[in-house]
Structure 1
Amino acid sequence: MWLLLAPTRLEAPFLKGEPFTFLGRMGLKGKGFVFLETGIGKVNAALTLAVWASRHPVERALLFGVAGAYPGAGLGLGEVVLVAEEVEADLGLEEGLEPLGFPALVVGGKPLYNRFPLDPALTESLAASLGLPLRVGLTRDRPSESLEEAFRLTSRWGAHLENMEGAAFARASLALGVPGAEVRAVSNPAGVRDRAFWRLKEAVFALKEAVLALL
């Protein structure tokens, strides 16, 4: 059984099932999966996974949604990737948490500061079965508002994609011991706020193909 999570229902209009209410949000039950709309942002993503896992056994969880592609990432609009690692870029100083000496999480005796892996075995298995490349995601509460800002972030952290939930999902999955994976489709160039340059419909269609293939 999969627990599927997406920030908004607009990113998963293709899932069908019987509606039920969870934390005030609409979700869907289907054969082999439960889908929950988390709401936008890190707190909503982590809270939804944590509360659900406290009430129900979770075999594996998938976060999916759209993302912006950083300059030089080599990703086209509508392209789908698996996220192997998430960076929480607005946690700590400009250089992250490590200079402060306070890890965000300790897993198996290893301190984790601003970089949080998705489950390697699950992610690599999905990459092989779905034929998707592995990339690095970067999570912020506030997305880039200019190409200059986007370039600075990708240069600093070596990330390919920008989103608002992934690092929190990865951290919560690690803390809860839930195998977690993340699929993203590129909807826009990171740092470009003009919607004329976005391809949201194409990104959602690509997500549909990937998620239904997974199910």
Structure 2
Amino acid sequence: MKRLLLLSLLALTACGAGPSSPTGGRPELPTGVEVRHPAAPAGTTVYLNLLTESGESVYQQAVTAGATRTEVNPALWREQSGRARPIEDWLPEGADDLQVSAPGTPVLLLHWVMWQDRDGNGQRAAGETLDLMTHDRAVYAEKAVTVTFKTAAPDMRQQWQFAAGWSRAEHYVYLPSGQSTYRRSLQTQGLGRYELHVPTPITSQ
């Protein structure tokens, strides 16, 4: 009887033993957030970087050669919320006709780039960034906020609308028929899908 009890305890111990990782050694669950992009070139490693306004990288993810979508993990850049500044600080120079729903709300805007590590040192250098662009932003807002404003050059009326916390802000720009003033919006969207694409004249406005 004692021998049977000892064997049972050993079996339980063996079943309980395993990796100490949060997932118990199982693959991480999908985050539901991805960056879509033209097929990544072959050769040296290609990376996605999430950058601050000044070009500092806060997140880096290797991209499989030939891939056209790459899953990213937003949990790894959430701590960057400490960099948030009043939303007014993010407006372009010359912005006027300004209306802000919650003046002074701290906001942070981050953007994606893709680059190829041609020198193999794992650090993005001049000439390594691929000719792709996005106006979508990873955005943090301390609370929900909306701002509208106008600029003369380019002639454009803009509306930014951000939900509280982290989200993806989707960019949309168009020129109404018969008008000379562009309309541009940057608004929180529920779908966590960023797009990198080849620059075009209209989306470069």
When normalised by structure 2's length, the TM-score is 0.25
More strand by share: 2
- Which has the greater radius of gyration? 2
More helix by share: 1
**Structure of higher RCO (CA pairs closer than 8 Å, 6+ residues apart):** 1
When normalised by structure 1's length, the TM-score is 0.24
